[in-house]
């Protein structure tokens, strides 16, 4: 099996991408799992050259978060990338991504949407995400960039950034991949011990319960999801909200029947923060 070319600097990237044609990019922080493989599969037919970036971006972690312990599994990542048809892996040095240091330089302000939900407990997170994604778009000039719907607020903000800042990259969302019991795949799942892993499934169960009540309207959806969490052990709930698909209306009302909506949840299981979400149509 041919391993992908690995580029670590701007010059190496330039060489690796000469004659690449249309580029499809899957940005990652490594520790690849089945969810990433699905993103790569989704991205492969979109362009002529499939590129994965692997960079644990320090600016999207706040002090005390898991930046230093975030899993780093480069050899296994390269093997998975090769199997998925990746031609080039961009695994930049810190200096390549942050030539002015991580505390200096220009950053992207996510605006009000960056301050709600995940942004409420992690106020600097989305600034870090958008800044690094903007840099990746600048360096690679991808025609397509594929992101998972699991990080729904991130996907929504990246879409808004690409449109709002007139970037030439089409941002493509890819459905969440789940374990057999429903838990959304995440690099952080490997932090869960045996008991926490069993408890964590309450998040996706809550979403399923909510979806099963879509026909009854917004209040029923939230009540059903809430009941699952109330009856579960080991989940420290941060938020459970029903909103429109653009995350614009956090107070969707019963009168919104027939509307597309998104149910989002975040909870801590032990020391691990997990998020999940699902789309639904109210009144159907």
Site for ligand PAF, rule CB under 6 A: 27-29, 57, 60, 129, 132-133, 151, 154
65: tokens are 């978060």
**Nearest approach, Cβ of 154 to ligand PAF (angstroms)?**
6
Two tokens, residue 89: 């892996």
Tell me how far, at minimum, the Cβ of 147 lies from ligand PAF, in Å.
6
Cβ closest to ligand PAF, residue 49 vs residue 153: 153
Residues 6+ apart with CB under 8 A from 90: 7, 13, 16, 51, 52, 53, 54, 55, 136, 139, 140
Shortest Cβ 216–ligand PAF spacing (Å) = 33
CB of 250 to ligand PAF, least distance (A): 22
- Is 77 or 151 the residue whose CB approaches ligand PAF more closely? 151
Q: For residue 266, what are the β-bridge partners?
A: 239, 275
Nearer to ligand PAF, 161 or 202 (CB): 161
Cα–Cα distance measured from residue 67 to residue 170, given in angstroms and rounded to the nearest whole number: 29
Strands 260-269 and 272-281: antiparallel
CB 52 within 8 A of CB 83: no
d(CA 203, CA 195): 15
Single out the residue of 275, 268, 121, 276 nearest to residue 196, CA to CA.
268
Q: Which is nearer to ligand PAF, 33 or 213 (CB)?
A: 33
Task: Supply the residues annotated as catalytic.
Answer: 36
């Amino acid at each position: 099996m041919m391993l992908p070319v690995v580029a670590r600097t701007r010059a190496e990237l330039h060489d690796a991408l000469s004659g690449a044609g249309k580029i499809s990019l899957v940005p990652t922080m490594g520790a690849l799992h089945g969810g990433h493989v699905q993103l790569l599969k989704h991205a492969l037919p979109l362009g002529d050259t499939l590129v994965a970036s692997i960079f644990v971006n320090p600016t999207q972690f706040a002090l005390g978060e898991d930046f230093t312990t975030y899993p780093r599994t480069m050899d296994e990542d390269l093997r998975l990338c090769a199997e998925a048809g990746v031609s080039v892996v961009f695994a930049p040095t810190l200096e390549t991504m942050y030539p002015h240091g991580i505390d200096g330089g220009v950053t992207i302000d996510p605006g009000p949407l960056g301050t709600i939900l995940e942004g409420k407990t992690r106020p600097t997170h989305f600034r870090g995400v958008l800044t690094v994604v903007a840099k990746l778009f600048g360096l690679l000039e991808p025609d397509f960039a594929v992101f998972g719907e699991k990080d729904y607020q991130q996907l929504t903000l990246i879409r808004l950034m690409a449109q709002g800042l007139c970037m030439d990259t089409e941002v493509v969302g890819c459905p969440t991949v789940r374990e057999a019991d429903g838990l959304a795949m995440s690099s952080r799942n490997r932090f869960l011990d045996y008991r926490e892993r069993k408890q964590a499934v309450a998040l996706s169960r809550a979403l399923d319960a909510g979806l099963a009540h879509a026909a009854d309207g917004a209040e029923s959806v939230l009540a059903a999801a809430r009941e699952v969490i109330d009856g579960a052990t080991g989940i420290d709930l941060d938020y459970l909200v029903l909103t429109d698909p653009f995350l614009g209306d956090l107070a969707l009302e019963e009168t919104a029947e027939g509307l597309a909506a998104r149910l989002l949840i975040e909870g801590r299981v032990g020391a691990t923060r997990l998020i999940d979400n699902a789309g639904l149509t109210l009144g159907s």
